Amino acid sequence: MGDQASDFLRQGAAWLCAYFGGRSPLPRLPSLVPSGTEFQKAVWRRLVAIPPGMTITYGEIARGLHMPGASQAVGQAVGANPLPILIPCHRVLAAGGKLGGYSSGLRRKRWLLAHEGLAWIS
């Protein structure tokens, strides 16, 4: 494994330890640019910008991308996220603040949101 990949893994591991340890502020992660379509990458960039303890809806992401009718496509891009937690798709809710889906299961999504202080979300 190259030095750059080793550095990324070390930084990712440190970030995960800080996140699950409840430390704040979290260390900075290197830029995350997984493979995907340009639309998926645009959605994932929006996800990375959501701070811990905050949420956004699929519709808000679609409107932020100047594609107000693309909520379902946003949901598909969120579901295709290859780096859950690091690219925080658990912070995306359905319309009306409903939980929506999560690729790792709703129980984990609830736990992650509660870990970030959002236990009120059902």
Contacts with 47 (C-beta within 8 Å, 6 or more apart), sequence order: 61, 78, 81, 87, 88, 89, 91, 92
Q: Which of 89, 93, 112, 113 is catalytic?
A: 89
Query: Which residue has tokens 């994932």?
Result: 44
Is 17 a known active-site residue? Answer: no
Tokens of 45: 């960039």
Q: d(Cα 61, Cα 67) in Å, to the nearest integer? A: 9
Catalytic residue ranges: 89
